[in-house]
Amino acid sequence: MAKVVTSQKRKKSGTKSLRAHEPFTSKELKDAKLVIETLLDCIRTGDIESFREVLTAHLMTLNKSKIAKKAGIGRRTLYDLMDPKREFNPELSTISAIIQSLAA
């Protein structure tokens, strides 16, 4: 039987493809009471774009699994809300569950 030829050694992945992780460090984004007030103000004024931006920024500072468990919704639902490529049209029950879990 002939000897099996192996491929060359694997090359190391380039660091150019890696992105540095810059977590949100703003104290305002971590303050749940301030975020809830801002979200409710956005609802009162009908500013859905600002609502989405504030909600997304705040959720990025939190553990999504814990928030999803507190709210009683799926973690994938939170990621879908944060995805800028998707249409932002959540149900009222989803939004109220998220706000209640942030207030708790």
**Mean pLDDT per 10-residue interval, the chain, length 104 residues:** 69 62 67 88 90 88 87 90 86 88 84
Q: Can you give the pLDDT at residue 69?
A: 92
pLDDT of residue 44: 93
Compute φ and ψ for 48, nearest 5 degrees: -70, -30
Query: Sign of the CA dihedral 72, 76, 79, 85?
Result: negative
Radius of gyration of the chain (CA): 21
Residue 73 domain boundaries: 26-103
- The total of other beta-carbon atoms located within 10 Å of residue 19's CB is 6
Q: Does any domain span residue 91? A: yes
Q: In this structure, is residue 85 part of a structural domain?
A: yes
Q: Is residue 74 part of a domain?
A: yes
Let me know if residue 58 belongs to a domain.
yes
Query: How many domains, the chain?
Result: 1
pLDDT of residue 12: 67
Q: 91 near 68, Cβ under 8 Å?
A: no
In the prediction, which pLDDT does 88 show? 84
SS3 category, 7: coil
Residue 61 lies in a domain: yes
**7 belongs to a structural domain:** no
Residue 37 lies in a domain: yes
In a domain, 79, yes or no: yes
